[in-house]
A = this chain, B = another copy of it.
Amino acid sequence: MEKIRIGIVGYGNLGRGVELAVAQTKDMTVDAVFSRRAPETIKTFGAPVYSIDEAINKQDDLDVLILCGGSANDLPQQTPYFAQYFNVVDSFDTHAKIPEHFQAVEEQAKKHQKVAIFSVGWDPGLFSLNRLYSSAILPDGDDYTFWGKGVSQGHSDAIRRIEGVQDARQYTIPVESAIEAVRRGERPTFTSREKHLRECFVVAKEGADKAKIEQTIKTMPNYFDEYDTTVHFISQEELNEKHSGIPHGGFVIRSGNTGKAGENHHIMEYSLKLDSNPEFTASVLVAYARAAYKMAQIRHYGAKTVFDIPPAMLSPKSGEELRKELL
């Protein structure tokens, strides 16, 4: 069997995760890593590295390109651009800009007869799928999404930008009593504060005003002011030792009712507990790269989301095997 030939664009935590995830499959291979950095400075687990400028010369050598750049600055340009030349998968996660991203990607993918699956990962991605399945099945119901316990890169970065801060790590923590209330079927309405806590581990620069740093964090608009936030000042050594992992996870819960008068109650719950957010996200991207390859084979071109992909396309197994082993 010929393997599906994958190219990786961008070789940070996510790109490395993709290379490792492909190595766990039997039907795929990473044939190229593309980077803006000088190729000779990048050490992969074995895949050859090229300058990103060479990517479009490799059209005939790769089946799917997995785009591992950031949603803020890379993917809005890269995904429509590469969709001219390759089937692509990205993890675009700026919720508010998804309609705009779809338009840009759809135009190029349709025009150039490519498959482009965007916003793949766990949220957006697997969590979105669960919101869709459960709301279609229980229309009289409410969705609840909780994130954590996990590291929020965006919130950690926001703290690092504060004057006097040397390093920081922020954990988003779901409020256990809120999850329990949802599981009991109460269908409550929550404020941001009632759903999540924020816990910050901060390394202050020598001589910095810690009280002021703490105050600045706790009152930061959008990021922290609507939450109960705790701040711990620790040493760089302790941060490195105890907080170097990138765990994450969360819960999607549908609470809904059926019956003549809604007398029967049902809870559908999906949860993830992840040691490594980037490695898990990479594993989702790789499964959808397989789907992109299969969609291209049947000429279902255009911009797609997880909502559009028949689940069977994610698996290396045949329809017959799936019906026999997993149904």
Contact B258 A327 (CB under 8 A): no
Contact B305 A323 (CB under 8 A): yes
Contact B259 A99 (CB under 8 A): no
A84 to B311, CA, bound (A): 27
Q: Mark A14-28, 1 if CB is under 8 A from B, else 0.
A: 000100110011000
Min CB gap A149→B, angstroms: 13
Contact A327 B314 (CB under 8 A): no
Give which listed residue, B98, B140, B268, B273, contacts A267 with CB less than 8 A: B273
A258-B21, A310-B309 known; A99-B320 Cβ under 8 A: yes
Contact A129 B311 (CB under 8 A): yes
Contact A259 B305 (CB under 8 A): no
Which residue of B is nearest A267, CB measured? B273
Min CB gap A65→B, angstroms: 19
A132-B315, A310-B307 known; A99-B323 Cβ under 8 A: yes
For A131, list chain B residues within 8 Å (CB). 326
Say whether A306 faces chain B, with CB atoms less than 8 Å apart.
yes
Say whether A82 faces chain B, with CB atoms less than 8 Å apart.
no
Min CB gap A184→B, angstroms: 10
Q: How large is the interface on A (under 10, 10 to 19, 20 to 34, 35 or more residues)?
A: 35 or more
Contact B137 A287 (CB under 8 A): yes
Contact B260 A20 (CB under 8 A): yes
A283 to B320, CA, bound (A): 27
Min CB gap A101→B, angstroms: 9
A146 to B280, CA, bound (A): 24
Contact A287 B326 (CB under 8 A): no
Say whether A239 faces chain B, with CB atoms less than 8 Å apart.
no
Say whether A102 faces chain B, with CB atoms less than 8 Å apart.
yes
Q: Mark A285-327, 1 if CB is under 8 A from B, else 0.
A: 0010010000000000000011111111011100110111011
For A95, list chain B residues within 8 Å (CB). 327
A119 to B21, CA, bound (A): 31
For A308, list chain B residues within 8 Å (CB). 310-312, 319
For A272, list chain B residues within 8 Å (CB). 266-269
Chain A residues within 8 Å of B, Cβ to Cβ: 17, 20-21, 24-25, 45, 95, 98-99, 102, 119, 124, 126, 128-129, 131-133, 135-140, 183, 258-260, 263-276, 279-280, 282-284, 287, 290, 305-312, 314-316, 319-320, 322-324, 326-327
Having A99-B324, A264-B280, A267-B271, one finds 12 other A-B pairs with CB under 8 Å, namely A21-B258, A99-B320, A132-B315, A137-B280, A258-B282, A264-B276, A266-B274, A267-B273, A268-B271, A269-B271, A305-B327, A307-B310
Provide a sorted-by-A list of 19 A–B residue pairs whose CB atoms are within 8 angstroms. A20-B259, A25-B139, A98-B327, A99-B320, A124-B327, A131-B326, A132-B315, A136-B314, A259-B276, A264-B279, A266-B272, A266-B274, A266-B280, A267-B271, A269-B273, A270-B270, A305-B322, A307-B322, A308-B310
